Amino acid sequence: LLDIIANRRNPDHGRVEYGETLRIGYFDQMARHMPEEMRVEEFFKREVGNHVMGSGLSPAELLEAFLFHPSVLYRPLGKLSGGEKRRILLVSILLSAPNFLILDEPTNDFDIATLTALEAYLDGFPGPVVTVSHDRWFLDRIASHLFLFRPDGQIQDYIGSASDYLVDRKDADWLAEQGLSSQESDSSKAGQGEANNSSSGGIQPVQERPQRMGNKERKELADLPGRIENLEKEIEELETKLSSGEANQEKLAAWGERHVKANQELERSMERWVELEELAKAQKL
């Protein structure tokens, strides 16, 4: 499907129409020829010429956004690791100024820090993003519309996040076990409430399923592990700086103040994570 959208493959039936201003950026899983002696700067020129992104980011700025030092522009590709080459390839695609992005299993290639950088970039991306991913946390972070491919060949169109879908599917499974549809369940609850109110034993509480987490809470829960990890890393770096004895009093005071605040933020984040985890577990019961 991604190849059809990207105009790399013709559909068996029907046709695909493309707008005149459409510019597709396709990050696929295909291996690319990246000559080891070629410098990163030369590779960018080969892939996208001297094009600079419509957002105004230069190659050096975009490299920094994806955790490279700008000096990597002058390094041969052969000196980079496999993961670094995949990041360079992604940057080259983004430099071509696409207004429609296709990402095929991006979480296979990148570590948490790179995924966080990618998510931050996608937050500001003005066009649509189509992705295939087995990573539910990544989907929750960026996707609000799902196409679900079923074993019978049908495609379900679902508006909502991956977590929304899983909750709705569990609700549907639960209703199916009771032999009810969602409408029958609603009317049954209303009837049960009336019957309980009129019984001789007084009002009996109707057992309700746990409240759902909203999209905001799910997104927050998905983001918290990364935030906690970043805060722990920052605290560790600050402690190294504070114990080095290589800075003046002004810097030491600033680092010390930030160290206190980072620890407070970490404590609040961990408490919130526990709270949301408990809510998520209760919802699954």
Sheet with 129-132: strands ordered across:
24-27, 100-104, 129-132
Give the C-alpha separation, 230 to 238, whole Å: 12
Question: Do both 137 and 221 map to the same domain?
Answer: no
Residuewise pLDDT in 10s, the chain (285 residues): 999 999 999 999 999 999 999 999 999 988 788 899 999 989 988 887 655 444 456 788 888 888 888 888 899 999 998 889 999 999 999 988 899 999 999 988 888 888 888 988 898 898 999 999 888 888 888 898 999 888 888 888 999 888 888 877 765 665 565 554 444 444 444 444 444 444 444 434 433 434 556 777 788 888 999 999 899 899 888 888 877 766 677 777 788 788 888 888 888 888 888 888 878 777 665
Q: Is residue 157 part of a domain?
A: no
Q: Is residue 138 part of a domain?
A: yes
Question: Do both 15 and 138 map to the same domain?
Answer: yes
Q: Is residue 272 part of a domain?
A: yes
Question: Do both 130 and 242 map to the same domain?
Answer: no
Contacts of 229 (CB under 8 A, 6+ apart): 112
Pairing of strands 155-159, 145-149: antiparallel
User: Which of 118, 143, 168 is the endpoint of a domain?
Assistant: 143
Q: Is residue 205 part of a domain?
A: no
Question: Do both 18 and 134 map to the same domain?
Answer: yes
CATH number, domain containing residue 10: 3.40.50.300
Q: Is residue 94 part of a domain?
A: yes
| Per-residue pLDDT, 78 | 92
If DSSP codes are grouped into helix, strand and coil, which group holds residue 162? Answer: helix
User: Which of 143, 164, 187 is the endpoint of a domain?
Assistant: 143
| Per-residue pLDDT, 176 | 61
Question: Do both 24 and 129 map to the same domain?
Answer: yes
Q: Is residue 105 part of a domain?
A: yes
Question: Do both 118 and 225 map to the same domain?
Answer: no
Q: Is residue 195 part of a domain?
A: no
User: Which of 109, 143, 177 is the endpoint of a domain?
Assistant: 143
How many structural domains compose the chain? 2
CATH number, domain containing residue 221: 1.10.287
Q: Contact, 127 vs 27, CB < 8 A?
A: no
Domain that includes residue 229, residue range: 215-284
Greatest Cα-to-Cα distance within the chain, rounded to the nearest angstrom = 87
Q: Is residue 234 part of a domain?
A: yes
